[in-house]
Amino acid sequence: MSMGFLVDESAPMIWRGPMVQSALLQMVRDVAWDGLDVLVIDMPPGTGDIHLTLAQRVPLSGGVVVSTPQDIALIDARKGLEMFRKVAVPVLGIVENMSYYCCPNCGHREDIFGHGGAKTESEKLGVPFLGEIPLHSKIRELSDLGKPIVIADPDSEQAKVYCTLAETVLKNIDQAQKPAPRISMED
Protein backbone atom coordinates (compact mmCIF):
# COMPACT_ATOMS: atom_id res chain seq x y z
CA MET A 1 0.00 0.00 0.00
CA SER A 2 1.25 3.44 -0.75
CA MET A 3 0.00 6.97 -0.38
CA GLY A 4 0.97 7.21 -4.05
CA PHE A 5 -2.06 5.04 -4.87
CA LEU A 6 -4.38 7.56 -3.26
CA VAL A 7 -3.26 10.79 -4.91
CA ASP A 8 -2.43 11.82 -8.45
CA GLU A 9 1.20 11.09 -9.30
CA SER A 10 1.92 14.70 -10.25
CA ALA A 11 0.06 16.27 -7.30
CA PRO A 12 2.18 17.52 -4.42
CA MET A 13 1.33 16.19 -0.96
CA ILE A 14 0.76 19.54 0.77
CA TRP A 15 -0.67 18.14 3.98
CA ARG A 16 -0.25 19.48 7.46
CA GLY A 17 0.41 17.28 10.50
CA PRO A 18 -3.21 16.30 11.31
CA MET A 19 -3.98 15.30 7.71
CA VAL A 20 -0.83 13.19 7.42
CA GLN A 21 -1.46 11.59 10.82
CA SER A 22 -5.02 10.74 9.86
CA ALA A 23 -3.92 9.24 6.54
CA LEU A 24 -1.24 7.15 8.24
CA LEU A 25 -3.60 5.81 10.88
CA GLN A 26 -6.26 5.10 8.27
CA MET A 27 -3.75 3.20 6.14
CA VAL A 28 -2.51 1.14 9.08
CA ARG A 29 -5.94 0.42 10.55
CA ASP A 30 -8.32 0.31 7.58
CA VAL A 31 -6.38 -1.64 4.97
CA ALA A 32 -7.04 -5.41 4.99
CA TRP A 33 -3.60 -6.58 6.07
CA ASP A 34 -4.74 -10.20 6.59
CA GLY A 35 -2.10 -12.89 6.45
CA LEU A 36 0.95 -10.73 7.06
CA ASP A 37 3.93 -11.96 9.00
CA VAL A 38 5.46 -8.48 9.12
CA LEU A 39 4.23 -5.05 8.05
CA VAL A 40 7.05 -2.73 7.03
CA ILE A 41 6.29 0.99 7.04
CA ASP A 42 8.86 2.95 5.07
CA MET A 43 9.26 6.44 6.49
CA PRO A 44 11.34 9.37 5.28
CA PRO A 45 14.28 10.39 7.47
CA GLY A 46 13.50 12.52 10.46
CA THR A 47 11.67 12.65 13.75
CA GLY A 48 8.59 14.69 12.88
CA ASP A 49 4.89 14.44 13.67
CA ILE A 50 4.34 11.42 11.45
CA HIS A 51 7.13 9.44 13.10
CA LEU A 52 5.91 10.32 16.57
CA THR A 53 2.30 9.47 15.69
CA LEU A 54 3.37 6.08 14.42
CA ALA A 55 5.47 5.35 17.50
CA GLN A 56 2.75 6.46 19.93
CA ARG A 57 -0.43 5.22 18.23
CA VAL A 58 0.57 1.97 16.48
CA PRO A 59 1.89 -1.05 18.39
CA LEU A 60 5.35 -1.47 16.86
CA SER A 61 7.54 -4.54 17.24
CA GLY A 62 10.59 -2.48 16.45
CA GLY A 63 12.28 0.03 14.23
CA VAL A 64 15.01 -0.38 11.65
CA VAL A 65 17.13 2.66 10.88
CA VAL A 66 18.39 2.93 7.30
CA SER A 67 21.21 5.28 6.36
CA THR A 68 23.74 5.87 3.67
CA PRO A 69 27.35 5.73 4.89
CA GLN A 70 28.24 9.43 4.89
CA ASP A 71 28.34 11.51 8.07
CA ILE A 72 25.56 13.92 7.07
CA ALA A 73 23.08 11.06 6.60
CA LEU A 74 24.17 9.43 9.85
CA ILE A 75 23.13 12.55 11.77
CA ASP A 76 19.48 11.88 10.80
CA ALA A 77 19.89 8.16 11.46
CA ARG A 78 21.18 8.89 14.97
CA LYS A 79 18.22 11.18 15.66
CA GLY A 80 15.75 8.57 14.42
CA LEU A 81 17.35 5.91 16.59
CA GLU A 82 17.22 8.14 19.66
CA MET A 83 13.56 8.96 18.97
CA PHE A 84 12.76 5.23 18.93
CA ARG A 85 14.53 4.83 22.26
CA LYS A 86 12.69 7.77 23.85
CA VAL A 87 9.29 6.39 22.85
CA ALA A 88 10.22 2.83 23.91
CA VAL A 89 10.26 1.26 20.44
CA PRO A 90 12.93 -1.47 20.28
CA VAL A 91 15.66 -0.65 17.77
CA LEU A 92 16.16 -3.77 15.69
CA GLY A 93 19.28 -2.42 14.02
CA ILE A 94 20.87 -0.22 11.38
CA VAL A 95 21.18 -0.90 7.64
CA GLU A 96 23.71 0.78 5.37
CA ASN A 97 21.94 1.57 2.09
CA MET A 98 23.90 2.47 -1.05
CA SER A 99 26.86 1.04 0.81
CA TYR A 100 28.93 0.47 -2.30
CA TYR A 101 28.63 0.30 -6.07
CA CYS A 102 29.70 -2.70 -8.12
CA CYS A 103 30.11 -2.21 -11.85
CA PRO A 104 27.82 -4.73 -13.56
CA ASN A 105 30.33 -5.10 -16.42
CA CYS A 106 33.66 -5.60 -14.69
CA GLY A 107 32.72 -6.15 -11.04
CA HIS A 108 34.87 -3.24 -9.77
CA ARG A 109 33.67 -2.03 -6.39
CA GLU A 110 33.51 1.69 -5.62
CA ASP A 111 32.57 3.22 -2.26
CA ILE A 112 30.86 6.27 -3.74
CA PHE A 113 29.39 7.57 -0.46
CA GLY A 114 32.14 6.22 1.76
CA HIS A 115 31.75 2.88 3.46
CA GLY A 116 31.14 1.51 6.92
CA GLY A 117 29.62 4.61 8.50
CA ALA A 118 26.43 2.81 9.55
CA LYS A 119 28.37 -0.12 10.99
CA THR A 120 30.60 2.21 13.00
CA GLU A 121 27.51 4.10 14.20
CA SER A 122 25.77 0.87 15.23
CA GLU A 123 28.78 -0.08 17.34
CA LYS A 124 28.87 3.38 18.97
CA LEU A 125 25.14 3.26 19.75
CA GLY A 126 25.04 -0.37 20.84
CA VAL A 127 22.54 -1.64 18.27
CA PRO A 128 22.88 -4.49 15.77
CA PHE A 129 24.33 -3.82 12.35
CA LEU A 130 21.95 -5.52 9.94
CA GLY A 131 23.89 -5.35 6.69
CA GLU A 132 24.87 -3.45 3.58
CA ILE A 133 22.63 -2.84 0.57
CA PRO A 134 24.61 -2.10 -2.59
CA LEU A 135 23.89 0.68 -5.04
CA HIS A 136 23.02 -1.33 -8.12
CA SER A 137 21.26 -0.40 -11.35
CA LYS A 138 19.26 -3.66 -11.37
CA ILE A 139 17.71 -2.81 -7.99
CA ARG A 140 16.75 0.65 -9.27
CA GLU A 141 15.43 -0.56 -12.61
CA LEU A 142 13.23 -3.26 -11.07
CA SER A 143 12.03 -0.91 -8.32
CA ASP A 144 10.96 1.62 -10.94
CA LEU A 145 8.92 -1.16 -12.58
CA GLY A 146 7.30 -2.05 -9.24
CA LYS A 147 9.03 -5.44 -9.15
CA PRO A 148 11.11 -6.14 -6.05
CA ILE A 149 14.41 -7.77 -6.94
CA VAL A 150 13.70 -10.63 -4.53
CA ILE A 151 10.73 -11.60 -6.73
CA ALA A 152 12.00 -10.59 -10.18
CA ASP A 153 15.50 -12.09 -9.76
CA PRO A 154 15.53 -14.13 -6.54
CA ASP A 155 18.85 -15.85 -7.27
CA SER A 156 20.78 -12.60 -7.79
CA GLU A 157 23.39 -11.46 -5.29
CA GLN A 158 21.34 -8.32 -4.65
CA ALA A 159 18.23 -10.36 -3.77
CA LYS A 160 20.29 -12.53 -1.42
CA VAL A 161 21.37 -9.39 0.46
CA TYR A 162 17.73 -8.41 1.02
CA CYS A 163 16.76 -11.94 2.09
CA THR A 164 19.59 -12.12 4.60
CA LEU A 165 18.59 -8.72 5.94
CA ALA A 166 14.95 -9.83 6.29
CA GLU A 167 15.96 -13.01 8.15
CA THR A 168 18.09 -10.99 10.56
CA VAL A 169 15.27 -8.49 11.20
CA LEU A 170 12.84 -11.35 11.92
CA LYS A 171 15.27 -12.85 14.44
CA ASN A 172 15.70 -9.45 16.09
CA ILE A 173 11.91 -9.01 16.30
CA ASP A 174 11.63 -12.39 18.02
CA GLN A 175 14.39 -11.43 20.47
CA ALA A 176 12.84 -8.02 21.16
CA GLN A 177 9.49 -9.65 22.01
CA LYS A 178 10.90 -12.22 24.41
CA PRO A 179 10.64 -11.11 28.02
CA ALA A 180 13.91 -10.61 29.80
CA PRO A 181 14.86 -13.54 32.04
CA ARG A 182 13.94 -13.03 35.66
CA ILE A 183 16.75 -13.39 38.13
CA SER A 184 15.81 -14.86 41.46
CA MET A 185 17.81 -13.96 44.52
CA GLU A 186 16.89 -16.81 46.84
CA ASP A 187 18.74 -17.40 50.08
Q: Give the domain CATH number at 86.
A: 3.40.50.300
Statement: residue 182 has pLDDT above 60: no
Inside any domain, residue 15: no
Among 24-28, 124-128, 133-137, 158-162, the range scoring the smallest mean pLDDT is 24-28
Inside any domain, residue 49: yes
Inside any domain, residue 16: no
Among 23-32, 65-74, 159-168, 173-182, the range scoring the smallest mean pLDDT is 173-182
pTM above 0.75, yes or no: yes
At 10-38, the pLDDT tens digits run: 888 777 778 888 888 888 888 888 888 88
Inside any domain, residue 112: yes
pLDDT on residue 187? 43
Burial class (CB in 10 A: 0-12, 13-18, 19+), 103: exposed
- Structural domain count, the chain: 1
Inside any domain, residue 106: yes
Strands 63-67 and 91-96 turn out to be parallel
Inside any domain, residue 73: yes
- Provide the residue range defining the domain that includes 144: 37-175
Inside any domain, residue 138: yes
Interval 139-146 mean pLDDT: 92
Inside any domain, residue 14: no
Statement: residue 53 has pLDDT above 60: yes
Specify the amino acid at residue 89.
V
Specify the amino acid at residue 179.
P
